[in-house]
Amino acid sequence: MNVQSVFYTSLYFVAVLYTFAFVLYGIRAIKGPTTADIIMAVDCLSFDMAAFMVILGIYFRSILLASGAIILALWAYMLDVYYTKYVLYGEVEV
């Protein structure tokens, strides 16, 4: 029972927690009475997904796949900006 195995076992629980979080975000995204709620849920879900990807990358010991997480975080930011601008102004560009 060394540190490494404890670490990897704990990652299991982290994965379960993340799945649970996805379910919660999903419920908010489905029920969300206003559009803002849905956008918030999608945003949180995307950023959590990025974090989850990094954790999986540690678990599978592959740094290669972690690059996707950075990209996902950036694109989720763009997604937010677009939704927000549409909801605020009704137009996106101009």
Partner 1 sequence: MIELHLLILAMVVSFGFVFSYLAMKEHDLLKALALSSVQSTFFALGFYILAAPDIVLAYLAIAVGAYTALVILAISKTERFEVGE
Partner 2 sequence: MTVKRDTAVALSFLLAFLVLSYAVVEKDVMGLSKNPLRPLGEFYLGHAFASGELTSHSPEVVTAIVWNYRGFDTLFETFVFFLAIMGTLSVLRLREGQERMVRDMERVEPHRHMDLIVRVITRLVLLMIIGISASIALHGHLTPGGGFQGGSAMAVASLLLFAVFSKFTLERRGLTLRHTLGAYAVGIAIILLTVYAPLALGGRFLQINLLPGELGLFDLDVGEYLAVSFGFLSVFLILGVSEWIFRRILRGEVR
Partner 3 sequence: MKPFGRFSAGTFLLVFLTYIFYTGSATGYDVITGTLVALVVSLLVGRWVVEDDRKVFQPRRWLSAIIFFLRYFVVEETRTHVDVAKRVFTLRTRPGIVRIPLDVKSDYARVLVANSITNTPGTVVVDITDDGKYLYVHWIDVSSLDEGEIKRNVVSYFEDYAGRMFD
- Rounded alpha-carbon distances, angstroms, from residue 73 to 4, 53, 57, 70, 90: 28, 11, 15, 5, 25
Q: Which residues contact partner 1 (rule: CB under 8 A)?
A: 15, 19, 22, 26, 29-30, 35, 38-39, 41-42, 45-46, 49, 52-53, 56, 64-65, 67-68, 71-72, 75-76, 78-79, 82-83, 86-87, 90-93
Output the six-digit token pair for 11.
């990652």
Nearest to 64 by CA among 49, 77, 53: 53
Instruction: Scan residues 74-93 and list those touching partner 2 (CB under 8 A).
Output: 74-75, 77-78, 81-82, 84-85, 88-89, 91-93
Nearest to 25 by CA among 39, 9, 4, 7: 39
Supply the minimum distance, in Å, between the C-beta of residue 87 and partner 2: 12
Supply the minimum distance, in Å, between the C-beta of residue 50 and partner 3: 14
Query: Taking CB within 5 to 8 Å according to partner kind, which of partner 3, partner 1, partner 2, none is near residue 84?
Result: partner 2
